[in-house]
Amino acid sequence: MTQQTLKQVEQYLEMMKGSGLDLVHRAEREFNTVSKSSVELQNRNPKNALIELRGTVLKCTKCTQLATARKSVVFGSGNASAKLVFVGEAPGYEEDIQGLPFVGRAGQLLTKIIESIGLSRQSVFICNVLKCRPPGNRNPSPDEIANCEPYLFKQLELIQPKMICALGTFAAQTLLKTTTPISGLRGKFYDFRGAQLICTFHPAYLLRNPEDKRKTWEDMKKIRSELDRIE
């Protein structure tokens, strides 16, 4: 297989990611097997490393309670070379069923938020701090966050986004290593390993507190103008 063909296969798999088709996951495994023979290409392309990381995370059982109760491990979906990555808290009921992030009511609102600044879900990457659903949608425990955050940091290292948007308290506090509430963190930029990080309210919170949507809109406008500046 030529390097050009490998590239085309890889682009196709990226495009299909998030469709939920098991066929894509099988194709990824087969693609990995073939592409491993091309060590030079493998080393040059962080997308392959992201697919490998996904394989590791899907098998993870570090949090016994979550691993026992889950239906899916929700790795994340979207563009593996995204300029903007959204990080939420943890999968909910719908996400656990479908194996995809932000697909319930909060996910529909996130889609609208993303589209409000002229982007699409396919153009960004969306993931969570925890890759498995806490039973009953309880808050993630400190131990679970400590277990799972290395996967998040590795995702960000491989994707190398220019901007990161932390959605809600757990994402903001995990990325910024702080205990400050989200209300005290949102609305300004922070440096996260060379990327610009901004925090805003979680869409699930906005569904319960629609009066704060305006503040999130202000945060989104800041993201849009910063993306315009760096593009």
CB of 170 to ligand SF4, least distance (A): 12
Q: 38's torsion region: left (phi>0), alpha (psi -120 to 50) or beta?
A: beta
- Which residue, 57 or 87, is less far from ligand SF4 as judged by CB? 57
Establish if 120 lies at the interface with ligand SF4 (CB under 6 A): no
Binding residue count for ligand SF4, defined by CB under 6 A: 14
According to the binding rule CB under 6 A, does residue 67 interact with ligand SF4? yes
By CB under 6 A, residue 159 contacts ligand SF4: no
Closest CA to 223 of 114, 77, 122: 114
Q: Does 127 sit near ligand SF4 (CB under 6 A)?
A: no
Nearest to 200 by CA among 190, 212, 187: 187
**Residue 174 or residue 196: which is nearer to ligand SF4 going by CB?**
174
Alpha helices in 36-79, H assignment, sequence order: 39-44, 46-58, 64-69
Ramachandran assignment for 43, one of left (phi > 0), alpha (psi -120 to 50 degrees), beta (any other): alpha
Separation in Å, CA 183 to CA 41, 57, 179, 199: 44, 31, 11, 9
Residues belonging to the chain: 231
Query: Taking the complex as a whole, how short is the minimal distance between the CB of residue 222 and ligand SF4, in angstroms?
Result: 30
Binding window for ligand SF4 (CB under 6 A); candidates: 42-50, 129-137, 161-169, 187-195: 129-137
Backbone phi and psi for residue 92, each to the nearest 5 degrees, phi listed first: -105, -160
Q: Is the dihedral of CA 166, 170, 174, 176 positive or negative?
A: positive
- Residue 89 binds ligand SF4 (CB under 6 A): no
Candidate ranges 54-62, 81-89, 109-117, 164-172; the one touching ligand SF4 (CB under 6 A) = 54-62
Give whichever of 63 and 223 is closer to ligand SF4, judged by the CB atom: 63
First vs last Cα of the chain: how many Å apart? 34
Q: Is 73 in the site for ligand SF4 (CB under 6 A)?
A: yes
Q: Which of 13, 127, 130, 164 binds ligand SF4 (CB under 6 A)?
A: 130
Binding flag, residue 62, ligand SF4 (CB under 6 A): yes
Binding positions for ligand SF4, rule: CB under 6 A: 57, 60-63, 66-67, 73, 130-132, 144, 147-148
